[in-house]
Amino acid sequence: MDKNRGGEGFYLSSPASFEVKSSGPLRVAEFDCHGCGAQSTLMDARCRKCVLGRLRVEEEVDQVILLGPITRVYCSRELSKLARRIAMAEQLALDRTLYSEKNEDKKSKRCVDERMSAVSEALDRILVDPHDLKPLDEALETARKRKECKGYGDENFRKLIGSIRATLRSVGVLKRLSPTNYDEVFVSREKPFFVEGVWHPPPRGAELVESYDLSDGRGKVRIYEQPGRPVLFYELKLPEFEMPLEYLRLLDEAFRMEIEEAPGHAKFAYSSRMYSFAEDWYNTLLHMLRGERAKISTTDLRRMASLMAGWLTYRVLEPLSHDDQITDVYIPAPPELQPISLEHEKWGKLETGIYLTTPALLGFGETLASRLGAAFDEVHPQLDAEIPELGMRLFLSRYPAIWSRSVEIAIRRRRSRPWTQPLFLQRGTLTPFASSVLGNVLRLGSSAFVIGEMGTAKTSQVETYIPEIGVQHRIVAFQDTEELHIEDFVQYGYKLANVRVFDPEHLERQVNAFLRGGASYWLITEVRAAEAVRAALGAAARQGSQPVVASFHARSKREMFDLIVHIMDLHEAAFKYIDFIVSTARFSTPKGTIRRIVEVAEVLKDWKEEPRYAELFVDDRKRDLLVSEKLLRGDKRLINRLNGSDLSKLDVVDVAKRVEFLPPQRGGSQVIPRLCKRLAIDEDEFLTAILAEARMKSDLLTLAKRSGNVEYLELPFVSTAYNAFFSSVKRNAPDYKRVMREWQAWLKKL
């Protein structure tokens, strides 16, 4: 094996292979350091000689990557500039005319040769330790001591050394270099070899504002306030970045192990299968390669294989999928110049320090396309794709405007577990009383549209109505994107059919087909196109047996009416088939972004041309509270108490005697008297049922708060609690004193 000198007193066992690549708008120099005896860092003098030596003869590059079990990315162009300046200094050193005077005899020729050799050796040493320019001074001093050269070209030689020093110092970074700060000066970023992109830490001076764990022990999230910037910084702290070097070496060895052909059962087009196959494959390889490294346990090997499979299959989306507070992920073009940004449930828009690469994202898009049997290329530059196992929907755009060879990705992410009304109550989105009113009118067959801008949790709000409607009713969910947690609800006894809508024109045909399926509730998520609106309103018109709950993108009731009647050109009578409009909004606060229901309005039926409403609940922004408006009359102190979240001291029977529904002729609800007449019950009995349910939901909040256990608000327990409560209602109503006694007794058993 050839031995290449790597500086004073050391050798490289094998030179690193070298390649310059394009990554979007960047030129990247990539060194494969496998088999090299150096440490794959510029803190090692051997690596400096290798890297700077190769970069001398290349055009400037934007990044330098040293590939190994731990991959280092140097993000400063100053490294390439320094190498180019060293090359310029070497060109000066090779120019004999800069050493000699006009007449050159044999003696002076030897003198020039010796001086050229001294400068060349000095530059060789500077190539290894560019922070130290003393070798130039030593070359000058050596020449001065040689008596046979004395008096010949001394001035020229001093000028040459001065020119070389000035050439090197023209790279400003040289003034900051020391033997211990190469990684800092040239902006080194470390990562495990299987992690893509460049991962920057929070900026200096950033202050931590929140930290929480990812699900399944996947790592931690840290959110920082950045100095001088209004946008917060989002950092992922993942275990793979803390993995021992011995583990990474073993993984790297397994990754680079050559195989003749892929096993026939790999099925790489399906990412869920690809993940399980990759996990088993690497677990097997790691066991084979472990050998004498017995201190690496079998459990650790499985964990390593799982991490590896996650990155190979899903890239950075896999760890991000473990953060239930992320609603959207944006990967802008070009990803090398703009970091990933996120929409956070609490903190709104966040920046990250994660910069990905165009080639990797293009490859990822092509893999997703093959899974769908679609294309993602120059002819088909856009792709809609889903990764249901991660709860994500992606829209990829290839070669977006300006950046001719890049890719941009927008990702919607759903929560890993179903939303429930108690979870929204905990977040202050609405109150137990408002939730109970909505739950009761929906269970009795009313239709409701949830409206709001993007990111106001409209679809999540629709999902929460599944437990409110209850296990006794059949529900048909029409959705174009896998956003509802159908399997979770089915697991807990809900009668739920999942109908995928791939084209708005198909929705009306599917709605008509399900008319023959018997009475059911219809959930329609994200009603956008005119065809979808027509189908949804047509379904609402049949609400005698088919109540509809739908989400609709509109900022206000007025905008919704204009879109339906004036823009989509549907008859205004269609609007009357909607019973309730639930308006949502989000607000930025010093403590983060909050999402609220800001109005619950009933669409009245006795109007022409311009719609009329009964605003049952409205937003009190100063108190950040949803308060009843045109719903109740009576004791104002009691009504104010009903607007709160703690109803633990509420005697529901007594309250129902002291307040009553506001009558329609005074601007109150028209639906509620109609429902009571249909059920042949008094309005005070219906109000008592609503108050009892509100008290039940308040008790769940209190239980979760007192115990510190949010599981009491998640679907499994909420379903159990609702079943216990409504079973008691069915047995004992209208004796709600007994209902509440049984409910309290059930809670005490927990």
Q: List, for residues 3-23, the tens digit of each pLDDT value.
A: 333 344 444 445 668 899 999
Q: Is the omega angle on the peptide bond into residue 130 within 30 degrees of 0, that is, cis?
A: no
Residue 272: predicted pLDDT: 57
Nearest by Cα to 77 from 172, 180, 164, 6: 172
Helix (H/G/I), strand (E/B), else coil: 95: coil
Q: Are 357 and 365 in contact (CB under 8 A)?
A: no
Residue 505: predicted pLDDT: 62
Nearest by Cα to 351 from 329, 321, 336: 329
Long-range pairs, 89-93, Cβ under 8 A, ≥24: 89/123, 89/126, 89/164, 89/167, 89/168, 90/56, 90/120, 90/123, 92/160, 92/163, 92/164, 92/167, 93/119, 93/120, 93/123, 93/160, 93/164
Residue 512: predicted pLDDT: 65
**Which segment of 515-529, 688-702, 725-739 scores lowest on mean pLDDT?**
515-529
Residue 510: predicted pLDDT: 67
Residue 462: predicted pLDDT: 93
**215-249: burial string, b at 16+ Cβ within 10 Å, e else:** eeebbebbbbbbeeeeebbbbbebebeebeeebbb
Residue 563: predicted pLDDT: 83
The DSSP bridge partners found for residue 343 are 328, 349
* Phi and psi angles of residue 684, each rounded to the nearest 5 degrees, phi first: -70, -30
CA–CA distances in Å: residue 105 to residues 95, 97, 113, 603: 17, 14, 12, 107
The DSSP bridge partners found for residue 328 are 343, 412
Residue 317: predicted pLDDT: 95
Nearest by Cα to 600 from 663, 542, 643, 564: 643
CB atoms inside a 10 Å sphere around CB 502? 9
**Fold of the CATH domain 197-413:** Beta-Lactamase (3.30.450)
Structure tokens at 252: 């790297």
Residue 131: predicted pLDDT: 93
Residue 313 to residue 275: CA distance in whole angstroms: 6
Give the orientation angle of helix 106-128 with respect to helix 45-55, to 10 degrees. 120
Residue 650 to residue 472: CA distance in whole angstroms: 28
Helix (H/G/I), strand (E/B), else coil: 321: coil
Model confidence at 30, pLDDT cuts 50, 70, 90, reads: very high
The DSSP bridge partners found for residue 523 are 477, 549
Helix (H/G/I), strand (E/B), else coil: 213: strand
**Which segment of 294-303, 517-526, 574-583 scores lowest on mean pLDDT?**
517-526
Q: Are 416 and 482 in contact (CB under 8 A)?
A: no
**Element (DSSP H or E) covering residue 99:** none
Nearest by Cα to 336 from 357, 362, 365: 357
**440-478: burial string, b at 16+ Cβ within 10 Å, e else:** bbbbbbbbbbbbbeebbbbbbbbbbbbbbbbbebebbbb
Q: Is the pTM of this model over 0.85?
A: no
- The chain-wide mean pLDDT, for the chain, equals 87
pLDDT at residue 509 greater than cutoff 60:
yes
The DSSP bridge partners found for residue 329 are 342, 411
Nearest by Cα to 530 from 489, 571, 488, 583: 571
Q: What's the whole-number mean pLDDT along residues 630-653?
A: 93
Model confidence at 553, pLDDT cuts 50, 70, 90, reads: confident
Q: Are 440 and 689 in contact (CB under 8 A)?
A: yes
Model confidence at 200, pLDDT cuts 50, 70, 90, reads: very high
Residue 452: predicted pLDDT: 92
Q: Which ranges of 129-244 would DSSP assign to H, the alpha helix?
A: 134-145, 154-169, 182-185
In the chain, which segments carry CATH 3.30.450.380? Answer: 197-413
Give every CB contact of residue 310 below 8 A, 6+ residues apart in sequence: 275, 318, 319
Q: What's the whole-number mean pLDDT along residues 300-319?
A: 92
Residue 105: predicted pLDDT: 65
The DSSP bridge partners found for residue 592 are 589
pLDDT digits (tens, 9 = 90+) for 45-74: 999 999 999 999 999 999 999 999 999 999
Amino acid at 742: E
Q: Are 747 and 724 in contact (CB under 8 A)?
A: no
Residue 1: predicted pLDDT: 31
**Which segment of 237-246, 299-308, 567-576 scores lowest on mean pLDDT?**
567-576
pLDDT at residue 284 greater than cutoff 80:
yes
Using CA atoms in the order 580, 581, 584, 585, what is the torsion angle rounded to 10 degrees?
-140
Residue 419 to residue 426: CA distance in whole angstroms: 12
Q: Are 168 and 126 in contact (CB under 8 A)?
A: yes
Residue 196 half-sphere exposure toward CB, CA atoms < 13 A: 25
DSSP letters along 657-700, please?
Answer: HHEEEPPGGGT--SHHHHHHHHHT--HHHHHHHHHHHHHHHHHH
Residue 455 to residue 347: CA distance in whole angstroms: 12
Residue 523 to residue 520: CA distance in whole angstroms: 10
Structure tokens at 285: 């390889």
Model confidence at 35, pLDDT cuts 50, 70, 90, reads: confident
**Element (DSSP H or E) covering residue 236:** strand 232-237
DSSP annotation of 571 reads: -
The DSSP bridge partners found for residue 84 are none
pLDDT at residue 154 greater than cutoff 90:
no
Residue 609: predicted pLDDT: 82
Residue 477: predicted pLDDT: 86
Q: What's the whole-number mean pLDDT along residues 606-616?
A: 91
Q: What's the whole-number mean pLDDT along residues 309-335?
A: 93
Residue 274 to residue 304: CA distance in whole angstroms: 16
Beta-strand ranges (E) seen in 547-579 are 548-553
pLDDT at residue 2 greater than cutoff 50:
no
Q: Which residue has the tokens 């609702």?
A: 722
Helix (H/G/I), strand (E/B), else coil: 21: strand
Model confidence at 109, pLDDT cuts 50, 70, 90, reads: confident
Residue 37: predicted pLDDT: 79
pLDDT digits (tens, 9 = 90+) for 433-457: 999 999 999 999 899 999 998 888 8
